[in-house]
Structure 1
């Protein structure tokens, strides 16, 4: 009986003691965005970093009608320097009375200076992949200029810069057709397979601009260049179904705007001659003329046919330029031709894979043929003024 009583008391003590390592929610500092820059004057061989973490201040988010913080700032940015991201995060922990909590980290921003140093970006990303407190769904972007400036930017419509950028990325990819955001888990796959890829490239001035792409070479393991807005449009039309994309083009010295409601694309590869692999890109675009600046009757069938041809030529020119830059200047197969070879022509892929983006560089020897067909099925605007 005595032993049973002792056992019961011990058991009760354990059950009532609770979790010894629990942290109250009010003591947590919720980190929602991180930015990594190079320290000024750093050596590329032994780079030193500046890491900025954006921490939420709940009182600044709460509406004044609910007893909240009114004009109080909704976030704080903490910056520290060092050669190790893990060590820097430890130092940042000492700058706040809150315990940093990274499970809600939504955004990781890498400056282009960091991204251009060989092997550095993949090593930094490994820190975020291995940390059990961080999720693989963190969106990753590259900044033109200092990454910290994006976290410092205060938008008018949102209180939290990191959340504003996160929503901007989602909105832009769904509604405007810009590059779909890439996540930590996706990029890890690219690094493991040593394949080339594109990340969104953002810049900030009066507003945050999201119209360019940062090109990463898989084998070189670094950022090797950029696609501008026109080149990104060519890339998107070639690679993805562009919904609600807008194309500006010129016809008879007048500016027209086409809204793309649907596009279909097909890329086929003929590897019969590995020294000159032939790639055919077929694109079909359906759209509506939304705006025109000229006295042209776009409802006239012959005029409409000529306008459709003008759209096709504009899209083809954009894609041709993008392909040429990807091949000749950057040497990075961001178009995924390697994947078509691997899945549909594996015997050929085994022969060329070790020299696809290096050595014999079969990717640069490949030839592209781009065919574009445009159907304008509705005239949203017309000008018949004499």
Structure 2
């Protein structure tokens, strides 16, 4: 993980619940396990690989607030300079998680007819295909498939109504499409670095194409920022075991 400010300040934090700062940080990460706005710590071996390949990357960002260590942001680093070029928050982190895939726990908030719902994701998998034959028109296709249930809802509709379930699935899909698309746009237009791992896919599956463009991916001609990225999400809502009851508006 990375600290905002001096690392010694984070590692010197004193709390009433834990004697060791490192244990407190571990519990802070564990307590947010269901949040899609949390990425896993990056192992030293993986960070070393990023540095050797000069791949851009993202790290959990720790901050100190009122004698407490908090984790709610992600720091993005340029793989060539190893300088931080920006920060991800909120939906941007969700977009990164969905693109990376391999999610086994997470919650996504959305609205149906003005009513709040929470989609409890059991699994989320992503499939990424890249066509880099034409350097002037590199295409990246991201397909995301999720499965889960409605953990919480407000309103009076029943989850046993298949037409309503279809409407929910469409709304979740549209929500994920927007979140991921907005995250990609931020990466391309604002940060101008690929911290999603597309470069790794190119290196592993399209090595010859990658050798021709690697110096111009995040730098030079900035081919990543010029690439066309298509996003397609799919959501399945499982109703087995789900309650048909809903919370009345205003209840907590």
TM-score (norm 2): 0.89
Higher RCO (C-alpha under 8 Å, 6+ residues apart): 2
From 87, 100, 114, give the equivalent of 1:239. 100
In the other structure, the counterpart of 2:246 is 383
From 170, 173, 187, give the equivalent of 1:326. 187
Quick check: 1:295 aligned with 2:148? Answer: no
In the other structure, the counterpart of 2:49 is 189
In the other structure, the counterpart of 2:3 is 143
| SS class of match (1:185) | helix
Contact 2:33/2:106, CA 8 A, preserved across alignment:
no
Alignment of 1:263-282 (within 5 A): 263-282=124-143
- Counterparts of 1:237 and 1:167 in 2: how far apart (Å)? 24
From 353, 360, 365, give the equivalent of 2:221. 360
- Counterparts of 1:229 and 1:366 in 2: how far apart (Å)? 24
Q: Where does the alignment leave 5 or more consecutive residues of structure 2 unmatched? A: none
Quick check: 1:211 aligned with 2:72? Answer: yes
Quick check: 1:311 aligned with 2:172? Answer: yes
- Counterparts of 2:35 and 2:3 in 1: how far apart (Å)? 20
From 62, 65, 78, give the equivalent of 1:202. 62
- Counterparts of 1:227 and 1:210 in 2: how far apart (Å)? 12
- Counterparts of 1:317 and 1:176 in 2: how far apart (Å)? 18
- Counterparts of 1:249 and 1:150 in 2: how far apart (Å)? 34
How far 1:225 sits from its partner (Å)? 0.4
Contact 1:199/1:213, CA 8 A, preserved across alignment:
yes
RMSD: 2.2
Alignment of 1:9-24 (within 5 A): none
**1:271–1:380 Cα change, 3 Å:** farther
The structure having more radius of gyration, on CA atoms, is 1
Per-residue CA distance 1:109-159 (angstroms, 9 max, x = gap): xxxxxxxxxxxxxxxxxxxxxxxxxxxxxxxx2223554443343333312
- Counterparts of 1:227 and 1:203 in 2: how far apart (Å)? 14
Contact 2:154/2:248, CA 8 A, preserved across alignment:
no
From 322, 337, 340, give the equivalent of 2:198. 337
Per-residue CA distance 1:340-368 (angstroms, 9 max, x = gap): 21222222112111111111111111111
- Counterparts of 1:181 and 1:189 in 2: how far apart (Å)? 15
How far 1:321 sits from its partner (Å)? 0.9
In the other structure, the counterpart of 1:166 is 26
Contact 1:237/1:263, CA 8 A, preserved across alignment:
yes
